[in-house]
Amino acid sequence: MKRFNLLILITLFILVATGCSTSSNTATTTMDKIKDDGKLTYAMSGQYPPFNFFNEQNKLTGFDVEIGEEIAKRISVDPAPIATEWDGLIAGLKASKFDMILGSMAITDERSEMVNFSTPYYRSGAQIIVPADSSISGGTDLKGKTVGVVLGTTFETKARELGATVKTYKGDPDAFNDMANGRLDAVITDKIVGLNAIKENNYPYKLVGDLLYTEKMGIAIRKESPKLLEAVDNALKEMMDDGTYKKISEKYFSADIR
């Protein structure tokens, strides 16, 4: 009996030791892999101009892409941005399909339970955008109205809270097009994205009401990748201190949006 108990104790010790070893190794795996591969893979929807979008040459570009390029440069690897559907980003990250999410993802308590976030790399907020001749003037007017949002965003959650009939999309361009065709009463999205869409496409739209809420955007990283998180935070701080961040921001927004 004593021998049996001893065997159990030895087995438990081995399991605990193995678990600790695995955890320790996992903590360095992502950064080691990035260095070994010589590239940093970061994901976004690719449908969120001017933050991330495909240009006329079908190349993924935008503010998020260039921030990622600069981070990769500062950890001495090549940038490898990829586009995937927004509502699959966190699942893809947790499944190790890419190293991090750099796609204008708002930092929320719910998401922070699943992933770690870098320090915020910009701030903005949720804005209601409507046709120029609309009588909608704010959030209280959205009850019963058909509102377009990107699936899986905080905008979708807010639209439902306001009592809207919600229609979801893979990206904001589709929602804006549907509103142009009379299928939506309003769109809720990031204020900067809305301003850019009106400017670039000459949409007869207007922004109404105050921001529904403000958001801080972070770079999402697996909880098992603390060394990558540290490297990203360091790179962001350096960029903001030496003027590189301001230069990228002013290229897309004529302002520093940090």
pLDDT in tens, 190-230: 999 999 999 889 999 999 999 999 999 999 999 999 999 99
Rounded to whole angstroms, how far apart are CA atoms 119 and 110?
17
Mean pLDDT computed over 154-175:
97
Q: State the average pLDDT over residues 230-237.
A: 98
Return the CATH number of the domain spanning residue range 124-214: 3.40.190.10
pLDDT exceeds cutoff 60 at 10? no
Same fold, 6-122+217-253 and 124-214: yes
Taking the domains of the chain in order of start, what are their residue ranges?
6-122+217-253, 124-214
Q: Which fold has domain 6-122+217-253?
A: D-Maltodextrin-Binding Protein; domain 2 (3.40.190)
The 10s digit of each residue's pLDDT in 69-85 is 999 999 999 999 999 99
Q: Binning pLDDT at 50, 70 and 90, where does residue 28 land?
A: low
Work out whether the CA dihedral 64, 68, 69, 74 comes out positive or negative: positive
Q: Which of 26-30, 154-158, 203-207 has the lowest mean pLDDT?
A: 26-30
CA 181/CA 184 separation, integer angstroms: 8
Q: Where are the alpha helices (DSSP H) in 83-216?
A: 89-94, 109-112, 154-161, 172-180, 191-201
Is the predicted pLDDT of residue 23 greater than 50, yes or no? no
Cis peptide before 50 (omega within 30 of 0): yes
Task: Tell whether the model's pLDDT for residue 119 goes beyond 60.
Answer: yes
Contact between 70 and 235 under an 8 Å Cβ cutoff? The reply is yes
Rounded to whole angstroms, the Cα distance separating 178 from 150 reads: 13
- The alpha helices in 52-185, defined as continuous H runs, are 63-74, 89-94, 109-112, 154-161, 172-180
Q: What integer pLDDT is reported at residue 24 of this predicted model?
A: 39
Residue 140 has pLDDT above 80, yes or no: yes
Task: Look at residue 29 in the predicted model and tell me its pLDDT.
Answer: 79
What is the pLDDT of the chain when averaged over all its residues? Answer: 91
Residues of the chain above pLDDT 70, percent: 89
- Exposed/middle/buried for 202, CB within 10 Å: 0-12, 13-18, 19+? exposed
Rounded to whole angstroms, how far apart are CA atoms 212 and 193? Answer: 15
Contact 184, 178 (CB under 8 A): yes
State residue 65's pLDDT score. 98
| Max avg pLDDT among 4-8, 27-31, 239-243 | 239-243
Can you tell me the distance from the alpha carbon of 215 to that of 151, in angstroms, rounded to the nearest whole number? 17
